[in-house]
Structure formats: C-alpha cells, structure tokens
Amino acid sequence: MKTGPHMLLAGKLTMLSLAMFAFGYVVMPPLYNIICDITGLNGRTNSAAVAAPDGTVISDRTITVEFVSVINSSAAWSFKPVVQTMEVVPGKTYTTNYIAKNLSSGPAVGQAVPSVAPSSAAKYFNKIECFCFTKQEFAGRAEKEMPLIFFVEPDLPRSIDTITLSYTYFNTGEEPENLSDS
Amino acid sequence: MSTAAAGHHDHDDHDHGPAKGWTRWLYTTNHKDIGTLYLLFALVMFFIGGGMALIIRAELFQPGLQLVDPLFFNSMTTMHALVMIFGVVMPAFVGLANWMIPMMIGGPDMALPRLNNWSFWIMPFAFLLLLSTLFMEGGGPAGGWTLYAPLSLQGGNSFAFVIFSIHFMGISSVMGSINIVATIFNMRAPGMSLMQMPLFVWTWLITAYLLIAVIPVLAGAVTMLLTDRFFGTSFFNAAGGGDPVMYQHIFWFFGHPEVYILILPAFGIISSIIPTFARKPLFGYASMVYATASIAFLSFIVWAHHMFTVGMPLAGEMFFMFATMMISVPTGVKVFNWIATMWRGSMTFETPMLFAIGFLVMFTIGGLSGLMLAITPADIQYHDTYFVVAHFHYVLVPGAIYSIMAATYYWMPKWTGNMYDEKWGKIHFWVSTVFLNVLFFPMHFVGLAGMPRRIPDYNLQFADWNAVATIGAFGFGFSQLIFVWVIYKCIKGGEKATDEVWEGADGLEWTVPSPAPYHTFEKPPAQYS
C-alpha cells in the first residue's frame, strides 16, 4: 500500500490541529483582552491612568455613580467605599476613597479588580488615578485609605443614568517587599 | 499484520484471517476489529454512565437528601456527562466509521491502520484515569462537565487526572479524525467522486474536520485550567488579571461544534436507513450534503448562546440569537428530506426503521425546545433549569443514541452474518421509547416551573414529576439489557443473513458476503471504474 499521500495529508491535518491548539492557548487570551479593552465588554475599564478631561462639561444632566465593594472569599479584609453614591456631571473630575483593612495579624498584599455595570458604560468611565492600578502592602491589622479620581465622558449614551463601579478585593498571597511603615 | 502472519504457516498469505488469542485485539490493525473494539467500549461505558444517571435519578426520586451526599451527587452529574459524551457517543460513532467507511467507499482498510490501533487503545486508559478520580481523596470532578473556572479549580488534586484524561481523549479523537479524513480522501474506489459517497461518509468527513478544529481548543482550555490550578498562572483568576468569563468563551467555542460532532454522524446513519426501508433513494442528496456543511459552519459562530445570562451587549445577544435560529434552516431541510424520502415509499417497519423514525420524531422535539432556548429573553428564564436538561437529552438520547442503536440493528447482520431477533428488537424499541418519554418529558414541566439543574435537593412542588422521571429512568435503563441480549444472541447465532440483508438496501457494503470477511475490497469494486 502506498503510504506517501496518507502521510502527507495526515501531516497537514496534524499541523491544523496544532494550529488550533495554539489558537486556543496562545492567541485567544490576549485577543479576548484586547476585545474587552476596546469594547468595554464584561465591564472592563481602563487598567492604567488616562489623561484628565479636556474641560467639556455637559451640565444639563447628572449621572448617579454607585460604589460597591466585594471581598474575595479567601481574603481576610474589610473593604468599603467612603461614600455609597455620588451625583456626577459628565466631563467633571471627582475624587473619592475606599478604605481597606487587613484583618489578619500578619502582613499581606491586596489588589482590587474593578468592574463597571452596565458594561456598555465601561468605556465611558475613566480613572485618572486608582488604587486598582497597583498592589497595596499592609502590615498586620493595618488600615489604608485609598484614592480614586475619575470622570465620566460627556458622550455617555443618554440611555444610561446610573453607573455601578464594583471593586473586588483579593489577597494576592504575596509577601510584602517594602513595608516602610511596619 | 506481521504478528498474525508469524503464527499462520498453514494459511495462504493472501487469505489470512484474524490472529489467534487475545493479543489479536491488542495488536490488531484491522478496521473491523478496531470498529468492534470501539463499539464494545462504548457499550460498556453506556452502562457505566447509565449507572451514574440512575444514582442521580434515585436521589431525585424524592425531595430532600436520601442516598448520596451532595458532593458525590455533583460528581455524578459531571461524570455522567463526560462518560456519555466522550465515552459513549463519540467512540460509538468512531467505531461505526471504522467498520463502515472502508466498506462503503470500497477501500481495503483505514488509511493509517497503526494509528487506528493507537487511537482506540488510548481510550480505555483515559477513562481509567477519569473514573479513578472517584476513589481519590477529594472525589471526582464535581463542577459540571463544562469545568467552569473558578469552581472547577476549587476541587481536590485529583483534578489533574481529569485534565490528563481529557487530553488523552482529545488525542484519541484527533488521531481518529485524521485517519478518517485520510481514508475518505485517499482510499475511495477508483471513479467514486465525493458527491457519490454515501451520506454517512459525508457527515463523518465534516465531523472529522470539526473534531480536528475544536478538540485542540478544548485541550488548550483545560491546559489553562491545569496551569491556573497547579502552576500559578492567572488565565481565569481575576486577582492575577485573568477573567473567568474567558473560560466560558473558549469552552463554548469548542462546546458548540462538539454538539454537532455528536449529531452529524447520526444524520448520516438516518440518511442510510430511511431510504432502505422506504425503498426509495434519498430525497435531495445534494441538499443534504450542503445542509450538513452549513450546520458545521454555523456551529462556529453561535457559541455565546450558552452564555446569554453571563452578560453581553445587546448587539451580541441579537447576533447569537439569530445565528442560532438560522441553524434550524439546514436542520429543517434535513428533516423534510427524510419525510419526503418516506413519502409514497413502500415502507416496512423493521427495528432499524423504528429507531430511525423514533429519531426523526423525538429529535425534532429536542430541536424545537432548542429553538425556544435560542430566544435570548426566554433563555434568561430557562437557563440552567431542567428545561435545558430536557432539551439536550431529547437531542442526545433519542437523537444520537437512537441513531447508534438503529445503526447497530441495521448493520449487525453484515457484521455477524446472523439476523438479530426481530421480535426482541421491536420490544427493545417500544419499551425504550415509552420509558424515555416518561423519563425526559416531565423535565420540560419542572424546568419551566423553575427547577434548577445539578441540584441534589429541590422544592416540594417539583416532587411528583421528579418521581415520574425517576420511574422512567429505571425503566429506560433496565430496558437496555434487552439490547445487550439481542446483540449477544446475534453474535452467537440465529437465522443466516443474506449478502444484501435488506431488500431495499443500496451501497457497496451490501455487495460483500455476510458476515463481512476479515479483508474486504482488497481489489477495488468495479462499479465506479
């Protein structure tokens, strides 16, 4: 029996299956992140600071921004926003704070992951400064007030009048590297 | 067959049969032997997976926790699905492909016989790994067969065995598919064009491509789970910048084509059986081929209809809703073609035909509930309820499983040389069909009323229909012993089958003697040259 054409075809099909594995394992996760960053799918907001707004203020409408905090079940923290809601004017810059406390006696490193609902509002919600851009290091039982500076873009669709910003606080499980205050 | 030839000095070299002893099955490269191994493996796994289903249904007979603890219940629902999908339906279809494709296209064997042996023998080890997790500390996987992160990552260390067993099953499926594609492209009888191939061959060709395209994606997804669980990566871990929703996207990018992997070969089987017993050629052969190809294409762009409740922009929901509904067009073409084939045919109702008509009626019921689930606003109500369970069991049990049973009754006389017991075959069909509907139909009602799936306990209001479903489950489960009895009797003896077996049968497989000799079409058939 001639095996030449069989091996050639089998080789091509093997390459196809390896390419699909690479597509699933190597290509899809970054592709997914890019798509989420561009479209704000899944409530994804900017993970690095953006520039302050250009000063265009649309004063004929106010948006309610609600602040929510969630603690990952494996973390011994208390984590709360200072204010629950704010009335904001699109285009203006606002500052608020979250307070996190390490409830364990040992040192810990925390990281907040933000999510915006409705997800169609995510790309209009911009953080100029956010504690979620970095990790925070805590000594045992230490407490920190952590700032958030944000603005809502003026071209936010008219159908949206409430934006919910939710932070989930995680214990990264790392050892603090430079705890200056301990 | 070098091992066989060594022990066969008294035989003519060109006429050797199977090797002697049990090592025949270990070393075999014969497509018929490997087909038989696959089919027997699927039959054994059918009873293991069925036993798990009966544990689930026994626990659900009454509200409250009676028999098993919730973790074990959840590992039963997870394992039942993994065993039935990867251990029963897929191996059974591969077994049928091994037996029938070379005979249908007039080729002497599969294109890559040694690879074929390998593809099969990986499977028992894969399932040994998977089933052994039930006896390990922490128990088997209990987060559902979809293995959604982060839930699936919170189980015991036995999770690594689950991942490796899925890798093995995947390697086996991909190798089997490569072999099938190579066989179909390179081993056809001279002169047989692609559009002259029987539909079972066509549907398998398309299925094999689907398998090659998506099984590696599943392998990628579970590899990410493995590294997230054991090697500190954060693909799906939000704390490390990952996203659990991404798992669902990757999984269902595999998962939805997988659904069609489980049903396209069934379409091929039904397209072989209905013309035989209607004694008319298949209506709309070319449209059947194009419909199969369109279903395969559409299956790649509908995955997120499994995720309507996860949250998606309106445009995304609309796209996936309409793309999903579009699948009912080629599927409808198929159903109407089968009905048109039967129209004014001189029909007889032997067991394979009964199963084929049962397929047609009940698969369509499952298709209809699928259309209901495709409607985004309705799906938000139906998601993760027993309505979904009813839907996919209607397309998989009287769909995929009935087609495999129909194929077994249809081709078994060719395999064994004996007719099966027609009376017991018909009893098997009717008992199964009655109990199957007693089992699955009430799930529509409790699902619409809001009973969630994968829950060992439930609200009192669902008690009556659950009790009915459990009675149906035990009836259906035990009636499958009739199937085993009929197969056993047919292998052991019975009325001798003719070469044609069926009066209206058409195709190269009916031109070889019954039982099919160990080697067929060593010289290509003359019809097409």
Q: By the CB < 8 Å criterion, does B244 face chain A? A: no
* Interchain proximity B224–A29, CB inside 8 Å: yes
Cis peptide before B515 (omega within 30 of 0): yes
Amino acid symbol at B232? G
pTM comes to: 0.88
Beta bridge partners of A66: A85, A164
- From chain A residues 68-97, the ones with a CB under 8 A of any chain B CB are 72
Which pLDDT score is estimated for A129? 87
pLDDT tens sequence for chain A (182 residues): 556 888 899 999 999 999 999 999 999 888 888 887 777 676 677 767 777 777 667 667 888 999 988 887 666 788 889 999 999 988 888 999 999 888 888 888 888 888 888 878 888 888 888 888 888 888 888 888 898 999 888 888 888 889 999 888 888 777 777 665 44
A20: which chain B residues are within 8 Å (Cβ-Cβ)? 212-217
Mutate to test the interface with B, among A1, A3, A6 (most CBs of B within 10 A): A6
* Interchain proximity B178–A24, CB inside 8 Å: no
* Interchain proximity B185–A29, CB inside 8 Å: no
pLDDT tens digits for B249-301? 999 999 999 999 999 999 999 999 999 999 999 999 999 999 999 999 999 99
DSSP three-state, residue A166: strand
Whole-angstrom CA distances from B521 to A4, B116, B187, B200, B511 are: 20, 19, 11, 19, 10
pLDDT tens digits for B291-343? 999 999 999 999 999 999 987 888 889 999 999 999 999 999 999 999 999 99
Measured torsion, CA atoms of residues B303, B305, B310, B314, in degrees rounded to the nearest 10 = 110
CB environment B237-259: b (16+ within 10 A), e (fewer): bbbbebbbbbbbbbbbbbbbbbb
Which residues 6+ apart lie within 8 Å of A84 measured at CB?
A66, A67
DSSP three-state, residue B208: helix
Beta bridge partners of B110: none
Q: Which residues of B are catalytic?
A: 80, 109, 145, 172-173, 256, 258, 260, 271, 305-306, 331, 334, 453
Sign of torsion, CA B24 B26 B31 B37?
A: positive
Whole-angstrom CA distances from B129 to A7, B117, B158, B442 are: 31, 19, 10, 35
- From chain B residues 389-428, the ones with a CB under 8 A of any chain A CB are none
**Residue of chain A nearest B244, judged by CA positions:** A42
Label residue A178 exposed, middle or buried (CB < 10 Å: 0-12, 13-18, 19+): exposed
